[in-house]
């Protein structure tokens, strides 16, 4: 069992400072940790993936303000390194179970911006046919199982997906994302116990963004060292700097390799921060602006961009090209969603049971 | 297991259910059984006794006492293409897994626009009558019957215990099977299956012309006993076994009331908001002009089920209560 202790307490909710990172995996991503592919092109891919999520969600804010999209919308801005870094360690055959803050997971998993945007619009071309919306994105073809709005509700489900793979002798990993808020739910602890007991091929990814909705970690957890608590179930657990996409990728690769060798579930506590409020409805009164600003200094996109610039891997022209490509992609997604058909009301009762199902959109 | 179970040609409800499980495990290697005490112990009610030895610990899987985790794991395994049968000891304990059943099992198909069917079977006991007090004795199947996206079965006979599981496993959607605890020791000759068990329709357990006794599960034997008593008085009661609580076979209820013009609904749940309330409302909606008397209901007293035998008996629908209710509609 490996318990990597965080190198500092976080009572002040301060971001990890450079040179004194919370990342406690062996090796150091910023010092050129091999990230599987490791090449300049790979860093560019990571950057583009994070930027796609960021720009997609920024557009969602505009569209929400314009009342084009509705419902609860929980943004991932600030946490992009987690979705992108972890996804790099997974293959298309692996399964992903996500949370209600899952636009980033879905896009990193390869669900197109067009399909996610159409879902935000509630259109038939959405990845859930318009029945799920922001919180319930699904894509069976990519083994992407939601989109779960009950904070620990995806964990047992993920254990079952992993169990099925294990029972059939398949070399797949199921990755389950959840937040620090889910740590207080019994379902996390039931699942951790079951997964460790049965040595399930399960990667538990805790996105510790320090707030369960509006309640700070130290106000909702008696013991805030989450990796240590997870380790108590008899699984490998690390705390990782969730703002450093390469550190995330490195830790996720190590964990997934361990899981594939049959050592059972692994737990990653990714220390991250959401720059925006819990949801579009949230006035964000529970935290100081200064705290948010401190964390923004460690913006995962900024961190990687700076690293690439310092190494001469990224110039203004290249960055502009990436930005333009993403802008075009999102423009196209919005345009397509605007023009996509709405589901006829006659289809209301489709898919309640399989016998009430018509053709899948 | 009672001594009677070893006698030739006789079987119990428990043995019939076990045989159904054995057949399912033999027929399809995607099927596995998972739950509290299903393996070494042989099942909390002895249903799965011997299956661990026959099929091994991978397919007859003891779980921690973690209803939410193992029901959710069943859902995940079903999503991934297996055919899990999850056993929960009693319906009271299923409340710990209600989030998984309602928010995931019943919902994923629709929210995913048909991408994620959940072919899962969940079995559990329900009902009172064994002096197990309030946390082991309630009849909450009507709550589950409220939920779109799942099928709810209540096998009341040896034949249904033996033959409902296979079609339940063949259903691409989640199926909940409620086994009334007082039925496990019911013993008799298992009649041969004349046609495949149909999970969409109620059945007439005893045809009659004067009154419809509409019930399901553990109350069926009481309703049949009441029909016998009424018959001795010259009242010819029809007994309808709903069998499937969702989707409810409204047409069978309507057809029976059209024949008899009187109805008593027997349901071991509390009267308020019960399945009996739903059946009564349907009769009011569909059969109002067929009725010669108001619909009567025989349900449990509105009390957490007591331990003391005398109080428990008083709280439960009994044959005498059914006979009395029938008299109120006929007289």
- Percent of chain A predicted with pLDDT > 70: 88
CB B256 within 8 A of CB B212: yes
- Would the pLDDT of A27 be above 90? no
Task: Residue A253: name the closest of A145, A58, A118, A91 by CA.
Answer: A91
| pLDDT, tens digit, 9 for 90 and up, residues B6-46 | 445 799 999 999 999 999 999 999 999 999 999 999 999 99
**Comparing A245 with A276, which gets the higher pLDDT?**
A245
d(CA B284, CA B278): 10
Q: Which helix (H) or strand (E) holds A216?
A: strand A215-216
ipTM: 0.93
Phi-psi region of B157 (alpha: psi -120 to 50; beta: other; left: phi over 0): beta
Q: In chain B, which residues have their Cβ closer than 8 Å to the Cβ of A354?
A: 109, 114, 117, 171-173
Instruction: Enter the tokens of residue A360.
Output: 């899948």
C-alpha–C-alpha distance, residues A83 and A72, integer Å: 20
Q: Mean per-residue pLDDT for B127-142?
A: 94
Average pLDDT score over residue span A278-302: 92
DSSP per-residue codes, B146-176: TSTT-EEE---SHHHHHHSHHHHHHSSS-EE
Q: Answer yes or no: do A187 and B172 touch at CB < 8 A.
A: no
In the predicted model, is pLDDT for residue A138 greater than 50? yes
Per the CB < 8 A criterion, the answer to whether A231 and A206 are in contact is: no
Catalytic residue among B15, B67, B268, B278: B67
A154-167 vs B67-79: helix crossing angle, rounded to 10: 60
Residue of B nearest to A134 (CA): B111
B61: three-class secondary structure by DSSP: strand
E strands in chain B: 11-12, 31-35, 60-62, 83-90, 121-126, 151-153, 175-180, 187-188, 203-206, 211-215, 237-241, 244-246, 263-270, 296-300
Q: Tell me the two tokens of residue B296.
A: 């009567």
**Which chain B positions have a beta carbon within 8 Å of A130's beta carbon?**
113
Cross-chain Cβ contact A194/B63 below 8 Å:
yes
CB contact under 8 A, B77 and A163: yes
User: Which residues on B lie below 8 Å from A351 (Cβ)?
Assistant: 109-110, 112-114
Spatial distance between the Cα atoms of B181 and B163, rounded to a whole number of angstroms = 18
Residues A93/A97/A103/A108 CA torsion (nearest 10 deg) = -30
Domain boundaries A36-360, corresponding CATH code: 3.40.50.970
A186-245 pLDDT, tens digit per residue, is 999 999 999 999 999 999 999 999 999 999 999 999 999 999 999 999 999 999 999 999
Quick one: which of B35, B34, B38, B40 has its CA closest to B65? B35
Does B110 qualify as catalytic in the annotation? no
pLDDT digits (tens, 9 = 90+) for B146-193: 999 999 999 999 999 999 999 999 999 999 999 999 999 999 999 988
A161/B80 Cβ within 8 A:
yes
- Contact at CB, B151 and A138, closer than 8 angstroms: no
How far is A301 from A53, CA to CA, in rounded Å?
11
pLDDT tens profile B202-253: 999 999 999 999 999 999 999 999 999 999 999 999 999 999 999 999 999 9
Q: Which of B193, B116, B205, B118 is nearest to B161 (CA)?
A: B193
Beta-carbon pairs below 8 A across chains A and B: 150
**Does the pLDDT value for residue A359 go beyond 70?**
no
CA B18 to chain CA centroid, nearest Å: 16
Rounded CA-CA distance A114/A104 in Å is 14
Q: Which residue of A has its CA nearest to B81?
A: A164
C-beta separation of B129 from B94 below 8 A: no
Give the span between the Cα atoms of A336 and B286, in whole angstroms: 47
Band of residue A15 on the pLDDT scale cut at 50, 70, 90 = low
Specify the DSSP element, H or E, that contains B250: helix B250-260
- In this prediction, residue B8 carries a pLDDT of 56
Distance from CA of B175 to the nearest CA of A (A): 11
User: Is residue A20's pLDDT more than 60?
Assistant: no
Is B201 part of the annotated catalytic residue set?
no
Average pLDDT over residues B284-289: 97
- Partner residue facing A163 (CB), from B68, B73, B108: B73
pLDDT single digits (tens) B190-208: 998 888 888 999 999 999 9
Chain A contact for B132, CB < 8 A? Answer: no
Residue of A nearest to B120 (CA): A160
The label of the residue with tokens 């082991």 reads B136
Task: Decide if B114 and A350 are in contact by the 8 Å CB cutoff.
Answer: yes
Q: Phi and psi at residue B24, in whole multiples of 5°?
A: -65, -40
Interface with A, mutate which of B112, B146, B147, B149 (most A CBs under 10 A): B112
Q: Which positions in chain A touch B113 (Cβ < 8 Å)? A: 128-132, 138, 351, 360-361
CB contact under 8 A, A164 and B112: no
Taking CB atoms within 8 Å and a gap of at least 24, the contacts of B299-303 are B299/B266, B299/B267, B299/B268, B299/B269, B299/B270, B299/B271, B299/B274, B300/B128, B300/B139, B300/B268, B300/B269, B300/B270, B300/B271, B301/B270, B302/B270, B302/B271, B302/B272
Query: Best of A157, A158, A199, A350 to disrupt the B interface by mutation (most B CBs within 10 Å)?
Result: A157
Task: Please answer yes or no on whether A361 and B113 come within 8 Å at the CB atom.
Answer: yes
Instruction: Say if residue B247 is preceded by a cis peptide, omega within 30 of 0.
Output: yes
Average pLDDT, rounded, for chain B: 95
Q: What is the 3-state secondary structure (H, E, C) of A90-125?
A: CCCCCEEECCCCCHHHHHHCCCCHHHHHHHHCCCCC
C-alpha distances (whole Å) from B315 to each of B227, B267, B304, B308 are: 21, 12, 9, 11
**B11-12 vs B31-35, strand pairing mode:** unpaired
Q: What is the mean pLDDT of residues B63-71?
A: 98
Integer Cα distance of B249 and B256 in angstroms: 11
Is residue A326 within 8 A of residue A52, CB to CB? The reply is: yes
Contact between A175 and A97 under an 8 Å Cβ cutoff? The reply is yes
Mean pLDDT on A253-273: 97
Residues of B in contact with A174 (CB under 8 A): 76
Task: Check CB contact under 8 Å for A131 and B111.
Answer: yes
Nearest residue in B to A154, CA atom: B72
Contacts within 8 Å (CB) and 24+ apart, A214-221: A214/A278, A214/A282, A214/A284, A214/A285, A214/A286, A215/A181, A215/A286, A216/A13, A216/A286, A216/A287, A217/A10, A217/A13, A217/A180, A218/A11, A220/A180, A220/A181, A220/A184, A221/A180, A221/A183, A221/A184
Phi, psi of B137 (to 5 degrees): -130, 5
- Distance in angstroms (rounded) separating the CA atoms of residues A360 and A141: 13
Q: Would you state the pLDDT for residue A240? A: 97
pLDDT higher than 60, residue A29: no
């Amino acid at each position: 069992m490996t318990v990597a202790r965080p190198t500092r307490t976080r009572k002040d909710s301060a971001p990890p400072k450079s040179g004194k990172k919370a990342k406690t995996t062996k090796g150091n991503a910023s010092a050129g940790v091999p990230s599987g592919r490791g090449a300049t092109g790979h860093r560019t891919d990571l950057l583009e993936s994070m930027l796609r999520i960021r720009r997609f969600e920024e557009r969602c804010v505009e569209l929400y303000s314009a009342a084009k999209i509705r419902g609860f919308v929980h943004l991932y801005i600030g946490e992009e390194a987690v979705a992108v870094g972890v996804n790099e360690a997974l293959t298309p055959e692996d399964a992903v179970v996500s949370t209600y803050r899952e636009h980033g997971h879905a896009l990193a998993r390869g669900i197109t911006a067009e399909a996610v945007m159409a879902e935000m619009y509630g259109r038939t071309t959405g990845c859930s046919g318009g029945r799920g919306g922001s919180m319930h994105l699904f894509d069976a073809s990519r083994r992407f199982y939601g989109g779960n709005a009950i904070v620990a509700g995806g964990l047992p489900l993920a254990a079952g997906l992993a169990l099925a793979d294990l029972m059939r002798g398949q070399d797949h990993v199921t990755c389950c994302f959840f937040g620090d808020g889910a740590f207080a739910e019994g379902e996390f602890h039931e699942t951790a116990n079951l997964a460790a007991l049965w040595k399930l091929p399960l990667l538990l990814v805790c996105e510790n963004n320090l707030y369960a909705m509006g309640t700070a970690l130290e106000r909702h957890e008696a013991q805030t060292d989450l990796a240590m608590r997870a380790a108590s179930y008899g699984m490998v657990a690390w705390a990782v700097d969730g703002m450093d996409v390469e550190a995330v990728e490195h830790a996720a690769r190590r964990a997934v390799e361990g899981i594939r060798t049959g050592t059972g579930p692994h737990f990653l506590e990714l220390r991250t921060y959401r720059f925006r409020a819990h949801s579009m409805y949230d006035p964000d009164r529970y935290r100081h602006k200064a705290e948010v600003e401190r964390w923004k200094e460690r913006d995962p996109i900024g961190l990687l961009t700076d690293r690439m610039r310092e190494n001469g891997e990224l110039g203004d022209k290249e960055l502009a090209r990436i930005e333009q490509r993403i802008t075009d992609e999102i423009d196209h997604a919005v345009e397509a969603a605007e023009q996509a058909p709405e589901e006829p009301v006659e289809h209301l009762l489709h898919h309640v049971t399989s016998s009430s199902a018509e053709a899948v959109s | 297991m009672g001594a009677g179970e070893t006698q030739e040609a006789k079987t119990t409800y428990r043995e019939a259910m076990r045989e159904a499980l054995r057949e399912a495990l033999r027929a399809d290697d995607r099927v596995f059984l998972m739950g509290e005490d299903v393996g070494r112990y042989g099942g909390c009610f002895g249903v799965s006794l011997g299956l661990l030895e026959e099929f091994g610990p991978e397919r007859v899987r003891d779980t921690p006492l973690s209803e939410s985790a193992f029901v959710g794991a069943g859902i995940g395994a079903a999503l991934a293409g297996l055919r899990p049968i999850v056993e929960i000891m009693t319906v009271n304990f299923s409340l710990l897994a209600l989030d998984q059943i309602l928010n995931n099992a019943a919902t994923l198909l629709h929210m995913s626009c048909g991408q994620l069917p959940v072919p899962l079977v969940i079995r559990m006991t329900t009902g009172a009558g064994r002096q197990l007090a309030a946390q082991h004795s309630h009849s909450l199947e009507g709550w589950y019957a409220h939920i779109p996206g799942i099928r709810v079965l209540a096998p009341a006979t040896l034949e249904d215990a033996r033959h409902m599981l296979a079609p339940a496993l063949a259903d691409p959607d989640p199926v909940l099977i409620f086994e009334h605890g007082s039925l496990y020791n019911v013993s008799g000759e298992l009649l041969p299956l004349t046609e495949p068990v149909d999970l969409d329709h109620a059945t007439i357990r005893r045809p009659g012309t004067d009154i419809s006794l509409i019930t399901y599960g553990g109350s069926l034997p009481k309703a049949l006993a009441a029909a016998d008593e009424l018959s001795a008085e010259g009242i010819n009661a029809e007994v309808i076994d709903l069998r499937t609580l969702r989707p409810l076979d409204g047409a069978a209820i309507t057809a029976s009331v059209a024949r008899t013009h009187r109805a008593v609904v027997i349901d071991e749940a509390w009267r308020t908001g019960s399945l009996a309330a739903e059946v009564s409302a349907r009769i009011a909606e569909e059969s109002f002009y067929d009725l010669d008397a108001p619909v009567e209901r025989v349900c449990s007293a509105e009390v957490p089920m007591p331990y003391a035998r005398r109080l428990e008996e008083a709280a439960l629908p009994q044959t005498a209560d059914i006979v009395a209710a029938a008299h109120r509609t006929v007289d």
